[in-house]
Amino acid sequence: MTQGSYDIVIAGGGLGGATLGRALAGAGVRTLIVERETAFRDRVRGEGMMPWGVVEARALGIDRLLRDDGAHVVPFWRRYSGLVPAESRNLADTTPGHTPCLDFYHPSMQRTLLDAAESSGAIVLRGAEVVRVDQGDAPGKPPVAEIRTDGGTHRVKARLVVGADGRRSTVRRIAGFTLNQDPVRLIVAGVLYEGLDTPEDSVHHFQCPALGQAALVFPIGHQRFRTYFVSWVGHRAHPISGSGHTREFLDACVDTGVPRDWFERASVVGPLAAYPGADIWVEHPCNGSVVLIGDAAAASDPSWGCGLSLTLRDVRVLLDRLLANDDWEAAAHAYAFEHDRYYGALHRVLDWLTQLLYERGASADERRARILPCFAMEPDRAPDLPGLGPETPSDEEARRRFFVEDRFLPPG
């Protein structure tokens, strides 16, 4: 089945690989998706898709698929300061795409999209790994992907190999891309609860800048809630991770403002895991015969919940370029240039938000005391991450407005 050649070989059948494979196969492109796992389990991955990502999901035709699979439509984003709801935002009314958040159980989303890719005509090889890519070293020579299965190793030719194999991407490493990583400033711990006593119509966002921490509760349907605790690195003696730390996780959420009684009848129904809150990315995620998408290209700091949306932006941009241009090398480079632009913009804005909302110490407190009241009076100084994502203004003028430098600098 895997011998011979395909138009495209995609390493990884996560959100990025499965969505791209489904769309390409549906357009008549001979597509092979190689997925390491045979069944999906809770890996504490993204389950809350921002409204700007839902716009991408609609454009790619997977929004309906996910809803039919039980994805949960979340119309409101509720921000709390302490225990008091400070703002409840109606997302469909206030975002440019008029879209809500879409939340889902990640393993179920992966299964649905990979099955859909198969139904569209992609060949899906499960329990198999891309372990090597020989890149066409002469012009016009196609790359060859080496795939390891239980039955041995197969070599498959393709016009293009796509690395959609996640934040620890093998394809990225074997294709020789240079990896960049921000210093780790935040730690994100997450776990799945069932039976929290809170409305399922809102993402609940507790931000506590004075303590350098936040808690986020994403309802994913059927009374289940993916819950995260985010804190400044070094603030705690150790990351909150592992089943022995569920009590500590709950207490940390309560410290951040989540009412304790929400948890009274709740139970933990998945692993508790912690991850570094830092971006990992490559510049120009294409080298001609190999192109990277999703977390393999740029895993944005999970604390800000943009990875799913960014992955779908990658899929849509790459797909459009490939379908519009017979020269796939040129198409893949065009995607990579575009990726550098929108990922770079998002990266800048997330950095500003991390500085403002999480940094600790007297000067950080002073900066917040100066800036946050200005945001309250002029809300358009703050980035619209849920609605605009990378299109939220991020140029020098936006930076000066964000840090309120436009008011305090001497004229001229």
Provide the binding-site residues for ligand FAD, judged by CB under 6 A.
Answer: 11-17, 34-37, 44-49, 129-130, 164-166, 170, 188, 190, 275, 294-295, 302, 305-309, 311
Least gap, CB of 92 to ligand FAD (angstroms): 18
Amino acid letter at 198?
T
Least gap, CB of 188 to ligand FAD (angstroms): 5
Tokens 């929108």, residue located: 342
Least gap, CB of 320 to ligand FAD (angstroms): 18
Contacts of 53 (CB under 8 A, 6+ apart): 102, 306, 308, 309, 310, 312, 313, 389
250 versus 306: smaller Cβ distance to ligand FAD: 306
65 versus 404: smaller Cβ distance to ligand FAD: 65
Least gap, CB of 46 to ligand FAD (angstroms): 2
Least gap, CB of 327 to ligand FAD (angstroms): 25
Question: Quick one: how far is CA 407 from the chain centroid?
Answer: 34
Least gap, CB of 44 to ligand FAD (angstroms): 5
17 versus 143: smaller Cβ distance to ligand FAD: 17
Least gap, CB of 40 to ligand FAD (angstroms): 7
Amino acid letter at 63?
D
187 versus 334: smaller Cβ distance to ligand FAD: 187
Least gap, CB of 117 to ligand FAD (angstroms): 12
> What are phi and psi for residue 57, nearest 5 degrees?
-60, -40
Least gap, CB of 348 to ligand FAD (angstroms): 18
20 versus 404: smaller Cβ distance to ligand FAD: 20
The CA–CA distances, whole Å, from 373 to 370, 381, 410 equal 7, 11, 21
Least gap, CB of 54 to ligand FAD (angstroms): 11
Q: What angle do CA 176, 182, 186 make, to 5 degrees?
A: 135
36 versus 399: smaller Cβ distance to ligand FAD: 36
37 versus 134: smaller Cβ distance to ligand FAD: 37
12 versus 381: smaller Cβ distance to ligand FAD: 12
What angle in degrees, to the nearest 10, is found between the helix axes of 15-26 and 307-324? 30
189 versus 404: smaller Cβ distance to ligand FAD: 189
Least gap, CB of 230 to ligand FAD (angstroms): 10
272 versus 364: smaller Cβ distance to ligand FAD: 272
188 versus 404: smaller Cβ distance to ligand FAD: 188
Helix/strand/coil (H, E, C) string of the chain? CCCCEEEEEEECCCHHHHHHHHHHHHCCCCEEEEECCCCCCCCCCCCEECHHHHHHHHHCCCHHHHHHCCCEEECEEEEEECCEEEEEEEHHHHCCCCCCEEECCHHHHHHHHHHHHHHCCCEEEECCEEEEEECCCCCCCCCEEEEEECCEEEEEEEEEEEECCCCCCHHHHHCCCCCEECCCCEEEEEEEEECCCCCCCEEEEEEEHHHCEEEEEEEEECCEEEEEEEEECCCCCCCCCCHHHHHHHHHHHHHHCCCHHHHCCCEECCCCEEEEECCEECCCCECCCEEECHHHCEECCHHHCCHHHHHHHHHHHHHHHHHHCCCHHHHHHHHHHHHHHHHHHHHHHHHHHHHHHHCCCHHHHHHHHHHHHHHHHCHHHCCCHHHHHHHCCCCHHHHHHHCCHHHHCCCC
